[in-house]
Amino acid sequence: MSAIVLNNENFNSEVLMSGEPVLVDFWAEWCGPCRMLSPVVEEVAEDAQGFKVGKVNVDAAPDLADRFGISSIPCLIVFSGGKEVKRSVGVIPKDDVINLVKGV
């Protein structure tokens, strides 16, 4: 499954009320490091088992970026049970992205 496009309308239902962990990528089109991480996040989404992957364009949903204190992008946040449990800022390898979600 590909990453879910998240916005103000679906964030609560897709992420905070999800029965499984959710990896959320906060990104922007103009961000070079985001463009480097994006294909990695998409690969992880395609192979995801036991968790979902979503993406928030911070320019399209600045309220969500503010709500979660996003000051640097790309920023990956893992949510479980409606709460943030892990966070990573910057470009990381695919294995590190997967390890971020493992065991949550």
Rg of the chain on CA atoms, in Å: 12
75 part of the active site? no
Active-site residue, selected from the candidate residues 7, 20, 28, 31: 31
34 part of the active site? yes
Active-site residue, selected from the candidate residues 4, 23, 24, 34: 34
Q: Return d(Cα 30, Cα 17) in angstroms, integer.
A: 30
Catalytic residues: 31, 34
